[in-house]
Chain A
Amino acid sequence: MKDKNVVERPNDEREFKNWLKSELGFEINNQYAYYYETVVQKLKKDFEESAFWKELLNNLPEINDKYRVNKGVYLLIPTNTPTILSKSLDSLVNKAYRKNILNNDQFPDPPRSGWITPENWFRNTNDIIRTSLTVKYLDGVAFIISELEELSFQYGYDFDSSFEAREEGYYAAHSGIKIPFSIPDMQFSPEDITLNIEIQVTTQIQEIIKTLLHKHYEENRRVIIPEDYKWQWDYQSPEFTSNYLGHIIHYVEGMIVEIRDREE
């Protein structure tokens, strides 16, 4: 017998969608998927055509030469033009599932920051529109972040950044620029929102590792790992190799910069 007052914890995204409908009243159906795609494409296009983005692209050669003059080497990869990416609805649902359910130790009560729902996820999700910049040297990550901050300041946009260093061997800087946009609501009336545009800055080698390990990270996010599990001792696990590879690469990249600067 099931207690009708006890809310069952959804075990996957499909169950999460049902829970979202029954408990919070939001239905993710084909109509919503069409709406979401329309909004995201508009946001992507508006950002691509924004003065901020155009100026950032125009400034990259200047930033590259500025680093060259300071450090004696080029920072950017000329063939690597940054592109703007948007988050798919499936990926967003997965993120909401993780925040609302998997990582919510207060369930069935909402997480401390509140439920993530279709009503607020354009405002509360950092990476619905995102891009990344890849640099050759580790110290170039902070250099680019500082340039992004300066440009955001010139445009009057709020800016924040964090240098991620995870136990799982993930190293990258994430910056967020808060830019005002107008999107249609579900009734297609205009609504003003401030969207966080995420710009990740990472090194060329970390980018390669990240691409190789992306599937592994995605799979890991979908399962609940026991709290006392220590991947550091499970040398046969995929985590052992991939996580330590991330740490080793970070260390080597630090040494490369150290040797380069010593030889100046």
Chain B
Amino acid sequence: MLNKHEEYLDILPLTQVVKERIEEVINLNSKLLGVEFLDIFICDLKNNEGAKNYTSLWLISTEYLIECKSFLSNNNFDLVRYKNKVGYCSIQPIEYDFETVSEKSSVLIHCNIGGSSSMGSVSCSLIATEENCTKALEIYQKYLITNIMK
């Protein structure tokens, strides 16, 4: 199940324990929806000690975006249909020129799905640091911009 995401997971890098937990969460959601996920994204933050803290796991299918909040220790899944329903999105890169990343690079992506304002829409936030910024940009370009409401 994780094979097609292996390249991404190795970039972060993650321990075997975390990979197994990701696989478990993907399997749970696959059973629930009966779909294969096209892509995954893991939000990460650096804590005061400089260690990466993995917060949310995003699962992306052709129709749905699923946020698995605090996925390492909880089963708490938010689901939204996003196909042609992205009303607004923004990206805030810090020390990141969309090409090269450094230890100080980070990116914050914010979007509303189902409307352009927070009223009557679902807001989503994705955050990434260092090498994970490249994947965040890919998600932004491939799944969010292309699904902005006409």
Contact = CB atoms under 8 A, between A and B. Distances in A.
A151 to B, nearest CB: 15
A72 B14 CA distance: 17
B: interface residue count bin: 10 to 19
Given A69-B72, A72-B74, A78 B18 contact: no
B16 A62 contact: yes
Main DSSP-derived SS at the A contact region = helix
22 contacts: A61-B15, A62-B15, A62-B16, A62-B17, A64-B15, A65-B14, A65-B15, A65-B18, A68-B17, A68-B72, A68-B73, A69-B21, A69-B72, A70-B73, A71-B73, A72-B70, A72-B73, A72-B74, A74-B51, A78-B51, A79-B49, A79-B50
Contacts of B17: 62, 65-66, 68-69
Contacts of A69: 17-18, 21, 72-73
A77 interface: yes
Interface in B81-131: none
Interface in A222-253: none
A72 B72 contact: yes
A57 to B, nearest CB: 13
Interface of B: 14-18, 21, 49-51, 53, 70, 72-74
B6 to A, nearest CB: 18
Nearest to B13: A61
Contacts of B16: 62
A69 B49 CA distance: 19
Main DSSP-derived SS at the B contact region = loop
Contact of A78 (B14, B50, B70): B50
A72 B71 CA distance: 10
A61 B18 CA distance: 10
Nearest to A78: B51
B129 to A, nearest CB: 14
Contact of A77 (B21, B49, B70, B73): B49
A188 B50 CA distance: 47
Contacts of B53: 74
Most buried by A among B15, B49, B51, B72: B15
Contacts of B49: 77-79
Interface string A46-84: 000000000000000110111011111010011100000
A69 B73 CA distance: 5
Contacts of B50: 78-79
Contacts of A62: 15-17
Nearest to A68: B72
A72 B73 CA distance: 5
Question: Which 4 A-B pairs rank lowest in CB-CB distance, beginning with the nearest?
Answer: A72-B73, A78-B51, A65-B17, A65-B15
